[in-house]
Amino acid sequence: MPAATSPRISDSPAIRDRPRITVICGGVGAARFLRALTSVVDPSTVTAIINVADDMVLHGLSISPDIDTVTYTLAEAIDPERGWGLRNETWAAMDALGRYGDRNWFRLGDQDLATHLQRTARLAEGATLTDVTSEIGRAWGIDVTLLPVSNDPVSTRVTRADTGDEISFQEYFVGEQHDIALSSVRFDGIEHATATPEVLAALDAADVIVIAPSNPLVSIAPVVDIPGVREAIEQRSVPCVAISPIVGGAALKGPAARMLDELGHDATASGVAQLWAALTDVLVIDDQDAHRSGEIASIGVVPYVTDTIMAGPTRSAALARAVLSAARIASSIRPTEIRS
């Protein structure tokens, strides 16, 4: 992979005025970034390629947590406190399920259930996950193109450090509230999965590729490890900009920092740069990680320092603009310094 020797700030017009932006996405962090991005660019220029390795069949229902989080967030329907599920949600079905035992550990709201019922019904009718994701997005009035990375089943499996037992991601994330140590992560079925034609086309057509601030190990990895995706990103002729989900050595949400640490990585923006060095030209890092710029540059990734905390629309929009600026920088430096 090509490497940049140092950051260089410019405002090159080398990418088009309305660049086509393809974003590699997990759940909450990606959803918030997409919302920010679509506040500063035409949403129809944005394509989200979304992780499906958290997907599961629960009680017969096909559930796609990351797709739903992105969809509900872009629809301004996400519950702002929980960060997942729908606002003004009710829980009558889950409460009633309690009569039958403890099967209601994975809380599905009543309105949210409708999405899973619809998805399950459409899949049973022969629709692909790509079809139904698009249909559900349109039903919510979303102009961003929402693409599951694959129509094939891929399942994140994690191994508990304490017992050595392998459990599903949702058992870890929801059932254990990610409060246990892990010794390994794998993506069951990924070697037989293929990226959809729509995903490969979106990567090919992109003027900018963005890696959203999602968990590197369980959100971004199972997207880029789908056969064909990493190759498409590595062989791109356009800039790639990633946003570090690690700020000041911690994740803003979720277990990314402790997972990085437990699984032998550096739980810092530098550790993220190492993981993504082969994928991205630029890593957008937070102001409080500015002192890591040299280290990140030495890894071969251009650091771009800004406020990455998406607290409120103004700061979120500023981050989105910063990502576009970083893409212009990468575009300007790629031909000479990166792509030489």
Among 40, 41, 61, 174, binds a copy of itself (CB under 8 A): 61
Task: Determine which helix (DSSP H) or strand (DSSP E) holds 21, and give its type and residue range.
Answer: strand 21-25
- Please, which of residues 236-295 interact with a copy of itself by CB under 8 A? none
Q: Which stretch binds a copy of itself (CB under 8 A): 133-141, 209-217, 271-279, 282-290?
A: 133-141
Q: Which stretch binds a copy of itself (CB under 8 A): 131-139, 152-160, 179-187, 298-306?
A: 131-139
Choice between 74 and 221, CB closer to a copy of itself = 74
* Residue 134 within binding range of a copy of itself, rule CB under 8 A: no
CB of 89 to a copy of itself, least distance (A): 8
* Residue 118 within binding range of a copy of itself, rule CB under 8 A: yes
Q: Are 156 and 182 in contact (CB under 8 A)?
A: no
CB of 124 to a copy of itself, least distance (A): 6
* Residue 60 within binding range of a copy of itself, rule CB under 8 A: yes
User: Could you give the CA distance from residue 191 to residue 173 in angstroms, rounded to a whole number?
Assistant: 23
- DSSP, collapsed to helix, strand or coil, labels residue 246 as strand
* Residue 167 within binding range of a copy of itself, rule CB under 8 A: no
Q: Which stretch binds a copy of itself (CB under 8 A): 44-52, 55-63, 226-234, 242-250?
A: 55-63
- DSSP, collapsed to helix, strand or coil, labels residue 34 as helix
Among 3, 40, 93, 318, binds a copy of itself (CB under 8 A): 93
CB of 168 to a copy of itself, least distance (A): 14
Q: Under rule CB under 8 A, how many of the chain's residues touch a copy of itself? A: 32
Q: How many C-beta atoms surround the C-beta of residue 307 within 10 A? A: 16
Among 22, 38, 47, 62, binds a copy of itself (CB under 8 A): 62
Per DSSP, helices labelled H in the chain are: 28-37, 65-74, 92-97, 110-124, 129-139, 169-170, 197-205, 221-224, 229-234, 256-262, 269-276, 293-299, 313-333
CB of 93 to a copy of itself, least distance (A): 4
Residue found by looking up tokens 């140590």 in the block = 181
CB of 46 to a copy of itself, least distance (A): 22
DSSP letters spanning 168-226: EHHIIIIISTT-S-EEEEEEETGGG--B-HHHHHHHHH-SEEEE-SS-IIIIIHHHHTS
* Residue 82 within binding range of a copy of itself, rule CB under 8 A: no
Q: Please name the amino acid found at residue 301.
A: V
Q: How many C-beta atoms surround the C-beta of residue 170 within 10 A? A: 19
CB of 78 to a copy of itself, least distance (A): 14
- DSSP, collapsed to helix, strand or coil, labels residue 315 as helix
Q: Are 285 and 304 in contact (CB under 8 A)?
A: yes
Q: Are 247 and 310 in contact (CB under 8 A)?
A: no
Among 51, 73, 115, 130, binds a copy of itself (CB under 8 A): 115
* Residue 110 within binding range of a copy of itself, rule CB under 8 A: yes
CB of 7 to a copy of itself, least distance (A): 46
DSSP state of 289: G
* Residue 76 within binding range of a copy of itself, rule CB under 8 A: no
* Residue 128 within binding range of a copy of itself, rule CB under 8 A: no
Q: How many C-beta atoms surround the C-beta of residue 118 within 10 A? A: 16
Choice between 120 and 194, CB closer to a copy of itself = 120
Q: Which spans of this chain sit near a copy of itself (rule: CB under 8 A)?
A: 57-62, 90, 92-97, 99-101, 103, 110-115, 117-118, 120-121, 124, 135-136, 139-140
